[in-house]
Structure 1
Amino acid sequence: MQQIKWGILSSAAIARKQMVPAIKEAGNAVLYAVASSSGRAEETASEWGAEKAYDSYEDLLKDPNVEAVYIPLPNALHKEWVIKSMNHGKHVLVEKPAAVTSDEIREIREAGKDSGVTWMEGFMYQFHPQHDYVKELLKDNAVGKVKRIRSSFSFPLDLGSKNIRLSSALGGGSLFDVGCYCVHACRYLLDQEPASAFSDARKIKNIDVDISTTAILSFEEVDCIIDCSFDEAALNRYEIAGTKGRIEVPFAFRPDQNPNGGMGEVILKDEKGAVKEHRTFEGNQFTRQITHFSQCLLDGTKPVYTPESTHNNMKVIEALYTSQNQVR
C-alpha cells in the first residue's frame, strides 16, 4: 500500500499521545520526520519512531521527502506555519482552530489555492462512527422535527499554571479550545449556518481569556445551547431534542475517554424519556482522520471537511467573541 510521509511540527502532547499512534495505525501513512524547537528533536524522533529529526520547523519543511505535515502548535501560530508549510509544497492537517480570526482563515484559503496543496482543520471527532449513526437517525426522523441541540465540552484546568490555553497572546480561551467543537457539532448535525450568535463569558483575575463560555446559536428552526469551561468537571456531549424524542451522545468529542472501554455511545429516547435504543460504536477517530486525509492525498480527492466549512466555523466563533465584548 502507498503511504504518505508525514512530518510533525513540535513535540506537543496531543501529537505524542494521539497523532503519532494514529499515523502508525493508519495503513496509508508513515511518520517520517519530527521538528522540535526545544532541543530534543533527536530524542523525540527516537521515542516516536521517526526517521528524521530537525531542530527547526523550517528545516523539516525543506525536506523534499515530507509530503504532509501535522501542526499542533499554539493557536496563534497556526496561520504562520500553515502558510509556510503550503509555500514549501506540503499538505497540511492543522489542529483546531485553524487560526484565530476569519481573516486569517481567508489568508490560509488563498495560500492553499495559490500553492495547490490540500489542507484540513483537525476536528477529529467527526470521523467517529457514532456520528454517522446520529445522522442516520436524523435522516429517518427518529426524533421527529429537531427543535433544540445542547452541546457541552469542559474539563478542569489548573488556572494557576502557565498553560498556553490561558494565554490570549497564544490564542487561548475555553471557546477556542473546546467550545469550537460545540459550534462545529451544531453546524455539522444540522448542515446549516446559524442566523445569529450570542454568548457571555466568565473571566477571573490575572487571566485575560474566557474561563467559561455559554452561547446560543439560532438556526432557521432550531436553537442550540453551547457551554464550555476550564473550570468544571469533565464533560463532552451533545443532545438533540425533537418533537418525538431525543438523541444523546454522552462522549461526543472524546469517546476514548469513556470509562466504558473508550466506546462511542448513542442513546435514543422516546417522547416520554424512555430508552428505545442504546448502541455502542468502536473506532479511533484520530486514526480515521489520518486515514481519510492521507487517502485524499493519494487519490487526489478533496477531504469531506472543507476550507469553506472551516471558514464558516470561525465566523461563528468570532461572532460569539464579539457579542461577549459588547455585553461587557
Structure 2
Amino acid sequence: MQHIRWGILSSAAIAENQMVPAIKEASNAVLKAVASQSGKAAETAEKWGAEKAHDSYEALLKDPEIDAVYIPLPNSLHKEWVIKSMNHQKHVLVEKPAAVTSNDIHEIREAGKATGMTWMEGFMYQFHPQHDYVREVMDSGTIGTIKRIRSSFSFPLDLAAKNIRLDADLGGGSLYDVGCYCVHICRHLLRQEPTHVFSAARKIENINVDISTTGLLNFNDVDCVIDCSFDEAALNRYEVVGSRGRIEVPYAFRPDQNPQGGNGEVIVKDKEGIVQEHRFFEGNQFTNQIAHFSECLLEGKDPVYTPESTHNNMKVIEAMYASQN
C-alpha cells in the first residue's frame, strides 16, 4: 500500500504526544522528517523515530521526499507557513485555528487553488465515531425537534506563566484555542451557519486576550450556548436538547481523557431525563484524521472538512470577538 510521507514543522508537545503516534498508527502514513529551529532537530527526530532531521523549516519544505506537512506552530504563524508549504508543493494539515482572521484564511484558500495543493484545518475531534452517532440520533427524531445545543471546553491554565495561549501577538485567547471547537460542533451538527452571534469575555489586567468567553449563536430556530475558559475546571462536552429528549456527550473533544477507557460516550435521555441509551465508542481521532487526510491525498479526493467550512468557522469567531467591543 502507498504511504504519504509526513514532515512536522516544530517539536511542539501536541506533535509529540498526539500526532507522531497517530502517523505511526495510520496504515497509509509514515513519519519521514521533523524540522526544529531550536537546535534540537536531530535529537527530536531520533526520539520520534523520524528518518530525517532538518534545522530549519525551509529545509524540510525543500525536501523532495516529503509529501505533506503537519503545522502546530503558534496561531499567528499558521498563514505564513501554510502558504510557504503549499508553494513548495507540500500538502498541509494545520492545527486549528488555521489562521487568526477570515481574510488570512481566504489567502490560504487562494494559495491552495493556485498551487493545486490540498490543505485542511486540524479539528481532529470530528473524526471520532461518537459524533456520527449523535447525528444519527438527531436525524432519527428520537429526541424530537432540536431546540438548543450547549457546548463547553475549558481547562485551568497558570495565568501568571509565560504561555503562547496568553500572548495576543501569537494569536492567544480561549476562544481561538478551545472555544473554536464549541463553535465548530454547533455548525457541524446543525449543518448550517448562524444568523446572529453575541459573546462576552473575561480578561485579566495586562493580558489582552480573553481567558474566558461565553457566547450565544442563533441558527434560525436553534439557540447554541457555548463557553470556554483557561480559568475554570476542566470540561469538554456538549449536549443537544430536543422537544422530547436530549443527547449528552461528556467527553466531546478529547474522549481520550475519559476515565472510562478513553472512549467516546453518548447518553440519550427522554424528556423526563431518564437514560434511554448509553453507548461507548472506540477510536483514536488523531489517527483517524491522519488516515483520512492521507487517503484523500493518495486517491485525489477532497477532505470531508473543507476550506469553505474553515473560512465560515473563523467568520463566526470574528463576529464573536467583534461583539465583545
TM-score (norm 2): 1.00
Q: Report deviation, 1:205.
A: 1.2
Structure 2: 5+ residue runs without aligned partners? none
For 1:84, the equivalent position in structure 2 comes to 84
TM-fit CA distance, 1:291: 0.1
Report SS of the residue matched to 2:311: helix
Residue deviations 1:242-295, cap 9 Å, x none? 000000000000000011110100000000000000000000000000000000
Paired amino acid for 2:258: N
Q: After the TM superposition, which parts of structure 1 deviate over 2 Å for at least 4 consecutive aligned residues?
A: none
Counterpart amino acid of residue 120 in structure 1: M
Match of 2:70 in 1: 70
Q: After TM superposition, list the pairs within 5 Å mapping 1:253-272 onto structure 2.
A: 253-272=253-272
Query: Would you say how many aligned residue pairs link Structure 1 and Structure 2?
Result: 325
- CA–CA separation in structure 1 for the residues paired with 2:214 and 2:53: 42
Secondary structure at the residue paired with 1:316?
A: helix
- Read off the aligned partner of 1:292 and give its amino acid letter: H
Q: Provide the rounded CA distance (Å) in 2 between the counterparts of 1:227 and 1:307.
A: 25
Aligned counterpart, 2:249: 249
Equivalent residue for 2:218? 218
- What amino acid is aligned across from residue 220 of structure 2 in structure 1? E
Which position in structure 1 is the counterpart of 2:169? Answer: 169
- Which residue is 1:204 aligned to? 204
Structure 1 unaligned regions, length at least 5: none
- Tell me how far 1:206 sits from its aligned partner: 1.8
Instruction: Please report how far the alpha carbon of residue 208 of structure 1 lies from its aligned counterpart in structure 2 after TM superposition.
Output: 1.0
Residue of structure 2 equivalent to 1:324: 324
Matched, 1:227 2:263: no
Instruction: Tell me how far apart the structure 2 counterparts of residues 89 and 142 of structure 1 sit (CA, whole Å).
Output: 47
1:99 maps to: 99
Deviation at 1:170, TM superposition (A): 0.1
- Match of 1:169, SS state, is helix
Cα distance in structure 2, aligned partners of 1:14 and 1:314: 22
Residue number in structure 2 paired with 1:145: 145
State how far apart, in whole Å, the 1-side matches of 2:242 and 2:132 are.
Answer: 18
Q: Secondary structure at the match of 2:34?
A: strand
Using the alignment, how far apart are the partners of 1:318 and 1:142 within structure 2?
34
Partner letter of residue 24 of structure 1? Answer: K
Amino acid at match of 1:253: F
Q: Secondary structure at the match of 1:15?
A: helix
Distance 2:261 2:232 in 1: 23
Aligned equivalents of 1:30, 1:161: Cα separation in 2: 36
Code of the residue aligned with 2:74 in structure 1: it is P
The secondary structure found in structure 2 opposite 1:80 is helix
> What is the letter of the counterpart of residue 133 of structure 1?
Y
Shift of 1:102: 0.3
Residue 241 of structure 2 aligns to a residue in which SS? strand
- Give the Cα–Cα distance (whole angstroms) in 1 for the partners of residues 324 and 89 of structure 2: 39
Shift of 1:33: 0.5
Alpha-carbon distance, 1:95 to partner: 0.2
Per the alignment, residue 240 of structure 1 pairs with 240
- Give 1:104 shift: 0.1
Q: CA–CA distance in 2 between the matches of 1:141 and 1:176?
A: 33
Please state whether the residue corresponding to 2:193 is helix, strand or coil: coil
- Shift of residue 75, structure 1, vs aligned partner: 0.2
DSSP 3-state at the match of 2:208? coil
CA-atom RMSD in angstroms: 0.4
Give the AA of the match of 2:237.
R
Deviation at 1:88, TM superposition (A): 0.1
Q: Which letter does structure 1 place at the counterpart of 2:103?
A: D
Q: Distance in 2 between matches of 1:142 and 1:8?
A: 44
Offset, 1:199: 0.3
Question: For 2:29 and 2:62, how far apart are their aligned partners in 1?
Answer: 20
Alignment of structure 1 residues 21-100 onto 2, 5 Å: 21-100=21-100
CA distance in 2, matches of 1:197, 1:101: 17
| Alignment match, 1:308 | 308
* SS state at 2:260 partner: coil
In the alignment, the residues of structure 1 paired with residue 79 and residue 142 of structure 2 have an alpha-carbon distance, to the nearest angstrom, of 41
Give the letter for the 2:265 counterpart. E
Aligned counterparts of 1:126 and 1:206: Cα–Cα separation in 2? 35
Q: Where does residue 181 of structure 1 map in the other structure? A: 181
Q: TM-score, normalised by structure 1?
A: 0.99
Q: Which amino acid aligns with 1:264?
A: G
Three-state SS of the structure 2 residue aligned to 1:177 is helix
